[in-house]
Amino acid sequence: MSDDDRQLIAECLGGQRDAFGVLVSRYQARLYNAAIRLVDSPEDAADVVQDAFLNAFQSLHSFKGDAEFFTWLYRIAFNTAISLKRKRRAAISLDAAGPDGGIDPDDPSEYVKPGLALERSEEERQLQEAMVRLSHEHREVLVLKDIEGMRYEEIAEILKVPIGTIRSRLHRARLELRELLQPNEADDEEHS
């Protein structure tokens, strides 16, 4: 853990709440980017991040410091996301996503080829749809390794499984994602 994080945690535990605000500022965007890939909407991701920071603040005294602060914080957010998904599973809304999937196309500028932003937006939508179709186990290892860039050891610590399991899940997740993103040949022949 960085000395700066360690000092901020010590200050926070000593009663200086502003120190925790510095930690929130430091890790909020990164945690949100991870959370958005674990849950189904930006609003849910924001809720997960807010709840994770609240839980982290309340449990800061139990943080041992033997791992990176973000790893500990991510584990809290991960558990929060799982709890949220369990609650939502019972009450699925039919109108949760709009007809366009809720993603607005980027605004192409004069420096970008017309249509490129729309293509990029479509690719992002397809990737997000494919990620949602992955099992939770596969999605979480992809997010942690390929998006967050964490080491296998950190992922194993967060998920509480052996490194071999992480490697196996990651391999299967990448294969499954690749299959989901490949255009369906039958659809292509149908449109010809």
Cβ proximity of 22 and 6 under 8 Å: no
Domains of the chain and any CATH numbers: 1-90 (1.10.1740.10)
Distance CA 78, CA 60 (A): 17
Task: Please report the sign of the dihedral spanned by the C-alpha atoms of residue 83, residue 28, residue 6, residue 19.
Answer: negative
Hey, what amino acid is at 179? E
Percent of the chain with pLDDT over 70: 77
Tell me if residue 16 falls in helix, strand or coil.
coil
Hey, which of 35-39, 58-62, 105-109, 182-186 has the most confident mean pLDDT?
Answer: 58-62
Answer yes or no: is pLDDT of 53 > 80: yes
Give the closest residue to 106 by CA, choosing from 114, 94, 98.
Answer: 114
Cβ proximity of 139 and 131 under 8 Å: yes
Cβ proximity of 158 and 78 under 8 Å: yes
pTM to 2 decimal places? 0.55
Tens-place pLDDT, residues 60-69 = 888 887 778 8
More confident position, 155 or 2: 155
Query: What distances in angstroms separate CA 42 from CA 71, 92, 102, 136, one per listed residue?
Result: 21, 17, 10, 18
pLDDT of residue 181: 82
